[in-house]
Amino acid sequence: MTALSDDSLTPDLTPSRLLEVAVAAARTAGTHALTNLDRRTDIAQGFAHDVKLKLDLECQTVAEQTLLSHFPSHAILGEETADDATPTRSSPYLWIIDPIDGTVNFSHGLPHWCCSVAVRHRGITMAGAVYAPALAELYTAAAGGPAECNGQRLRTSSVPRLDQALVMTGLDQKVNPRMKRFALFRAIADTVQKTRVMGAAALDICRVAKGQADGYFEAGIYTWDVAAAALILENAGGRSEILANPSPHQLLFLATNGHIHEELKSLISGHLAAE
C-alpha cells in the first residue's frame, strides 16, 4: 500500500474548509484567554520589556488541539514552541499560531490583543483568521476570497501619500540589532501624518486592511505575528512585503494600502542604508 501524501489524506482541503478550521482554532484560543482574564498576570517567564504568560502556553495548546483534531498529520509552528526551530512534523500543510498577539496589552487588561491562526500549503498562505475577542472582531480571509471582519467585506484606504498617512509600528526589544529602534521610529514619525504604537501586529495589519490605518512597519516582528493578517490585508487590496529576514522567523515587515508602499519602503530602506 503506497503511503498517502497529506494532499490525498484529506481531499476536501479547499481554502474555505481550511479557513473554517483556522477560525475554530482562533476562537477556541481567544475564548480560553477571555474567560481566564483573572489569570492575565500569571507569568510563565518575564523579560526586561516583554512577558510570556501561562495563558500564552495554554492558548497555543488549545489551538493546536483544535487543529490536530481535524488534521492530525499537519505541521504546526507556534510562537510558544518556535524555539524548537522546526515545525512539529513534515507536511505540505503548516499551521502558524500566535496564541495571544499583544501579550503585554492582555496582561495589563488592554483589549487590543488577538489570536492569529494561518495555514500555508507548500509555503503559500491558504487561509488566515485573526480573532480579537475583547473587541468582538473576527478578521478572516481565504486564498482567492474576500477579506472580512465579522462577515463585512474589508477594503484598504485610498490615502495616497505618506504625509497624509496614519502608520502603525512597534518597538519590539528584540529588534534587529543593526537598527537603532527609535531613530527609525523618528524617521517615520517625522514624515507621516501620525504614527501609532498599539502593541499587536496582527491587529495593526488588520486595521490597515479595514482602511482605519494606511500602513504598518516593524523591524523585529515574527512570522506568527503577521502570517494570517498579511493574507487578510492582501485580500482587502493592500500589499505586504518582507524587507529582511535577519533570523529564522524574525522579519522586517511592511504592510500598506498599496498607495504609500513604495514611498514608505524607500524611507525605511534609506534609513537602513544609513545605519
Binding mask 78-97 for ligand LIP (x = CB under 6 A): -x------------------
Least distance CB 197 / ligand LIP (angstroms): 7
Among 58, 80, 148, 172, binds ligand LIP (CB under 6 A): 172
User: Binding of ligand LIP at residue 263 (CB under 6 A)?
Assistant: no
Q: Are 147 and 153 in contact (CB under 8 A)?
A: yes
Least distance CB 114 / ligand LIP (angstroms): 9
Among 97, 117, 162, 201, binds ligand LIP (CB under 6 A): 201
Least distance CB 107 / ligand LIP (angstroms): 9
Task: Give DSSP secondary structure letters for the chain.
Answer: -PPPPHHHHSTT--HHHHHHHHHHHHHHHHHHHHTTGGGTT-EEEE-SS-EEEHHHHHHHHHHHHHHHHH-TT-EEEEGGGGGG-S-SS--SEEEEEEEEETHHHHHHT-S--EEEEEEEETTEEEEEEEEEGGGTEEEEEETTS-EEETTEEP------SGGG-EEEE---TT--TTS-HHHHHHHHHHHSSEEEE-S-HHHHHHHHHTTS-SEEEEEEEEHHHHHHHHHHHHHTT-EEEEEEEEETTEEEEEEE-STTHHHHHHHHHHHHHH-
User: Binding of ligand LIP at residue 133 (CB under 6 A)?
Assistant: no
Mark the segment that binds ligand LIP (CB under 6 A) among 16-24, 25-33, 88-96, 199-207: 199-207
Mark the segment that binds ligand LIP (CB under 6 A) among 86-94, 167-175, 249-257, 261-269: 167-175
Least distance CB 43 / ligand LIP (angstroms): 13
The nearer residue to ligand LIP, 28 or 107, going by C-beta atoms, is 107
Among 64, 225, 234, 263, binds ligand LIP (CB under 6 A): 225
The nearer residue to ligand LIP, 201 or 251, going by C-beta atoms, is 201
Q: How many residues bind ligand LIP (CB under 6 A)?
A: 14
Binding residues for ligand LIP (CB under 6 A)? 79, 98, 101-103, 170-172, 199-201, 218, 221, 225
